[in-house]
Amino acid sequence: MKMEEVTFFPQGDHAVAVVFNDKINRETHSQIRHFSSYLMKNSFDGMVEVVPGYTSVTVYYDPIKMKSVSPYEEVVTILKKQLSKQNERNEFPSNIVTIPVCYGGKYGPDLSYVAAYHNLSEQKVIEIHTHTEYLVYMIGFAPGFPYLGGMSQTIATPRKDTPKVNIPAGSIGIGGEQTGIYPIDSPGGWQLIGQTPIKLFDQYQAQPSLLKAGDIVRFIQITPEKFEDWEVGDHTWR
């Protein structure tokens, strides 16, 4: 990554957005993941949090702990030095997570709509959705909500005109060219094609979110009977 390709923008008076690109792709994601990891291992005085996004890394800092009269300029200078020091040859292995999904029916009430929208059978939509490995670009919107890249454009479907007030935790949705998983009960406007019995977010765990940026997600179809068995309390895929 060339320094002149990276831009910096203030986010209020306590954060800096480090923008790597305007394109959402795996190369940009790799740069973001690498820099985020480097910063967390080589933090500076005053740094509070590092939040990776699609094309940027937002670095939060405590302006009171900065030494200069211009905390923003000081942080940008530090970040530029950190960028010049990192070794881009390092590779990060991806954790592969298999997510069981019961598609259609009460678990995926919008599967029929998605199928009709594309003039496909419901089973064909399921085959396309489960045929891809998805990259977790970032976690956001709700605690543990993964934004997944890699969905086939053949099933890309517009969001609902009117969002639903409450979507059950574990629901698998399609919103435009993206697919994702609602980790908790929440409002939302994506087309719901299925549901997983696996718990994606647990605030009482050391790592509350099952998924993290850089993970690879694979969906696998299960029966309604298997889904109901899971509700007994088994929250891991076997």
The structure tokens 């670095």 sit at 59
pLDDT in tens, the chain (238 residues): 555 589 999 999 999 999 998 888 888 888 888 898 889 889 999 999 998 888 899 999 999 998 888 999 999 999 999 988 876 555 666 789 999 999 999 999 999 999 999 999 999 999 999 999 999 988 877 788 998 988 999 999 999 999 999 999 999 999 999 999 999 999 999 999 999 999 998 888 878 889 988 899 999 999 999 999 886 555 554 4
Whether pTM exceeds 0.85: no
Quick one: tokens of 180? Answer: 């994702």
Q: Are 104 and 114 in contact (CB under 8 A)?
A: no
Helix (H) or strand (E) segment spanning residue 79: helix 71-85
> What's the confidence (pLDDT) of residue 75?
95
Neighbours of 225 (CB within 10 A): 8
Quick one: tokens of 70? Answer: 């211009």
Q: Are 107 and 227 in contact (CB under 8 A)?
A: yes
Q: What is the rounded CA–CA span in Å between residue 35 and residue 21?
A: 13
